[in-house]
Amino acid sequence: MTFDTLGLSEKVLGAVTDAGFSEPTKIQAEAIPPALERKDVLGLAQTGSGKTAAFTLPMLNILEKGRARARMPRTLILEPTRELAAQVHEAFELLGKNHKLNIALLMGGVSFEEQNRKIDRGADVVIATPGRLLDHVERGKLMLTHIEIFVVDEADRMLDMGFIPDIERVAKLLPITRQTLFFSATMPPEIQRLTNQFLHNPVEIKAQALSSTAETITQRAVYAPSDDTSKRDALRDLMRGHADDVKNGIIFANRKTTVAVLEKSLQKHGFSCGALHGDMDQRARLKTLDAFRNNDITYLIASDVAARGLDIPDVSHVYNYDVPTHSEDYVHRIGRTGRAGRLGNAYTLVKWEEFRAIKDIEDLIKKPIDWDGEAPTDEEIAESIASKGKRRRGSKSAGPKAKAKAPAKKSKPKKAEEKVDVAEKQEQSSAEAKPEKRHSEEKPQRERGGRGRGRGGKGRDNDHDDTPSMFTEENMPAFLARPVI
């Protein structure tokens, strides 16, 4: 099958040919024809399968007729991250070079002024992250009442990042007659609910089994010690062992702080690398990505902000320094390699307490992950899973070869005695603290003067608190001596 058979216009086909595309991928071949017929589309495909072109090409075809009005865009594409939004913008510039379209890129980290100028001229296409889009809407700079095509890309990533309420807010601002194109790599229950809410009789396309990984990727698990220093040593040894085969690689970590530590550590040991995480400003993120794409740096150390949809065509290796918190993220991480039929390699460092997590990943992708080098025994894996991944007591490394015994448990009577002692100490300390507290509360009142000490307290000097009372025991009225109830 070729792009000529999909019903695209001459302008679009010319741009496709100039871009070097010869045959459509499965998701493109099945999604483009119904999209051109203005039908809703639900596309399920793994990362790297060509989803961007699957909605970009039919949108360009439809946008050849008509023009946008000021502040009233014709089409809207929602992306979970700035990098994905910028990437889709590049795709429109590449494939839409024969079209005179005004494209507005709305994302955080960039000033509102330039974005407002694009919107004021009339944007045919708005590519946005949910937060910045709603900022423009709330400022009255953007109206969504003329949207013809609404695209939600990487919907499962939107779910992970907490954008689902924002998407629902945006959908309520759109016309009912719009066309919706919905793309996701996985289909958790919350995403299924959204598709039932947003789509009307959609054409459902499954380019591959849900949550599957490309057959061109070699996947390996590597046992790693639990202490951070030894684990970084294990990562460097692994990278040095692949030095002759690595063209470039991405190292994924779960936390931004870990990304920063790994960058300093690898640079200290002579590796060419750069970092990418959510705390970086947009200019620094784009600069690092450009350096990686241009081979100015060999390794990109990234949090999951880089796991979804970044189109870096020829990544040879992916290293998971941490096992992903969510099993679905593993699919997206290793999807950075082995793209477009190329061969790829993925290595995951697994600590003893993460055996359960790697087992969950195997259940998700429905294939085993072979161990590279020393592999844990079945008994050790079963022990880790039974303990729910909790670190072994008394073991610093907590690895499968750890031999340290857990300290003996304290008897219940001793614990009870300790609790009583603690309670008595707390009661004693609180009792000792009470007079000091009363003293501290009275001191400011004396310093402020006699306000509030009675009706005659105005102008009174509280330094004379020792003045004797007008009543003595002999002349004390009975009602004053009565106890207060």
Does 354 lie in the same domain as 246?
yes
Confidence of residue 483 (pLDDT cuts 50, 70, 90): low
Instruction: Count CB atoms within 10 A of the CB of residue 345.
Output: 21
According to the model, what pLDDT value does residue 485 have? 60
Q: Is it the case that residue 107 has pLDDT exceeding 80?
A: yes
Out of 35-49, 93-107, 160-174, which region has the weakest mean confidence (pLDDT)? 35-49
Does 147 lie in the same domain as 105?
yes
Confidence of residue 322 (pLDDT cuts 50, 70, 90): very high
Which one is predicted more confidently, 111 or 36? 36
Report if residue 448 sits inside a domain. no
Which domain CATH number covers 108?
Answer: 3.40.50.300
pLDDT in tens, 344-372: 999 999 998 899 899 999 988 889 999 99
Does 147 lie in the same domain as 242?
no
Which one is predicted more confidently, 395 or 279? 279
Confidence of residue 289 (pLDDT cuts 50, 70, 90): confident
Which one is predicted more confidently, 112 or 452? 112
Report if residue 62 sits inside a domain. yes
Report if residue 427 sits inside a domain. no
Report if residue 242 sits inside a domain. yes
According to the model, what pLDDT value does residue 55 have? 95
pLDDT in tens, 166-223: 999 999 999 999 999 999 877 888 889 989 998 999 999 987 655 677 788 999 999 9
Which one is predicted more confidently, 411 or 315? 315
Out of 7-11, 86-90, 124-128, 434-438, which region has the weakest mean confidence (pLDDT)? 434-438
Confidence of residue 141 (pLDDT cuts 50, 70, 90): very high
Report if residue 198 sits inside a domain. yes
pTM of the model: 0.64
| Final residue in a domain of this structure, among 386, 404, 424 | 386
According to the model, what pLDDT value does residue 279 have? 79
Q: Is it the case that residue 475 has pLDDT exceeding 90?
A: no
Rounded CA-CA distance 401/339 in Å is 37
Q: What percent of the chain has pLDDT over 90?
A: 47
The per-residue pLDDT of the chain, averaged, comes to 81
Distances in whole angstroms, Cα of residue 403 to Cα of each of 223, 382, 385, 394: 16, 17, 18, 9
| Final residue in a domain of this structure, among 173, 206, 239 | 206
Structural domain of residue 330, as residue ranges?
217-386
